[in-house]
Amino acid sequence: MAAAKIAPSMLSSDFANLASEAERMVRLGADWLHMDIMDGHFVPNLTIGAPVIQSLRKHTKAYLDCHLMVTNPSDYVEPFGKAGASGFTFHIEVARDNWQDLIQSIKSKGMRPGVSLRPGTPVEEVFPLVEAENPVELVLVMTVEPGFGGQKFMPEMMDKVRTLRKKYPSLDIEVDGGLGPSTIDVAAAAGANCIVAGSSIFGAADPGAVISVLRKSVEGSQNKN
C-alpha cells in the first residue's frame, strides 16, 4: 500500500519567508513540500527555479517534491539535482519522445522521477512510463489546469485516479489542485495517496488541523479497501 503523504504547496506560502514557512509546515506534520516550478511558457505563470531550491535546501531536510511545469524538462535535471531537489516530476505533454532518457537522467542525479498530466490528457498516456523497465515512481494527476493556485477542484479527474489505482496498487498517485477538507474524501476514495494542498492549508486558521484531516481521509479510505 502506498503511504499517505501530505504535501503543502509552497506556492501558497509567504515566499519572502520560505525557510520559516517550510520549517512550520514540517513541524505541523507535512510529509513533503511541493514546489511549483513554472517557466512562463508551458504555463503562463513564472515562479521559482533551481536557485530557490538550492537556498531552501540549506534550511530544511524535507523531501522537496518538485513539479516542473516547463517546456524543456531535460534542461532542468542537472541544475535541480545539484540544488537538492528530492522528486522531479515532468509533464508527459512535453516528454512524449524522450521520457526514457529523462527518467534515466533524473535517477542518475539522485532524484525520484514522476510524471504529471494536464486535465485534458488521457491517463493512458502515462501507462508506458509506469510499466517501463526503468519506470516513473509517481504519477501526478492535475485536478485543475496547471499554472495558478486557488482554482476549483475538478471531480471528473477522479476517473484517472481510479484507473491508475486499480492498475497499480502500490504506485504513488498524487493529486494537485483545489484539494482541501471539502474535496479530500473524493480524492482519497478514488485512490490518491499523495495530496498537494495550497490555499486550503496556508489560508487556514489552523494549518496543522487541515494537514491532519487530509491524512486521516487518505488513511481511512485505504483501511476501507
Report the pLDDT value the prediction gives residue 132, as an integer from 0 to 100.
98
- Mean local confidence (pLDDT), 65-74: 98
Cα angle 166-116-168, degrees, rounded to a multiple of 5: 20
Length of the chain counted residue by residue: 225
List residues with catalytic annotation: 36, 176
Residue 154 contacts residue 143 (beta carbons within 8 Å): yes
Tell whether residue 199 is among the known ligand binding residues.
Answer: yes
Q: Name all contacts of 97-106 with Cβ < 8 Å and 24+ positions apart.
A: 98/74, 99/129, 100/132, 100/134, 101/74, 102/73, 102/74, 102/77, 103/129, 103/132, 103/134, 103/135, 103/136, 104/134, 105/74, 105/77, 105/78, 106/77, 106/81
pLDDT-derived band of residue 148, with 50, 70 and 90 as boundaries? confident
Give tens-digit pLDDT for 15-63. Answer: 999 999 999 999 999 999 999 999 999 999 999 999 999 999 999 999 9
Q: Is 149 annotated as a binding residue?
A: yes
Total of domains in the chain: 1
Reported confidence tier of residue 224, pLDDT bands at 50, 70, 90: confident
CB contact set of 78 (below 8 Å; sequence gap of 6+):
105, 109
pLDDT for the residue 103? 98
| Cβ-contact 106, 98 below 8 angstroms | no
- Report the distance separating Cα 144 and Cα 55, nearest Å: 29
Which domain does 111 fall in, by range? 5-223
Please check if 91 is assigned to a binding site: no
pLDDT (mean) for 212-218: 98
List the CATH number of the domain containing 26: 3.20.20.70
* Residue 9 among known ligand-binding residues: yes
At residue 1, the pLDDT reads 80
Residue 225 pLDDT grade (very low, low, confident, very high; cuts 50, 70, 90): confident
105 is in an annotated binding site: no
101-136 per-position pLDDT tens digit: 999 999 999 999 999 999 999 999 999 999 999 999
The answer to whether 147 is a known ligand-binding residue is yes
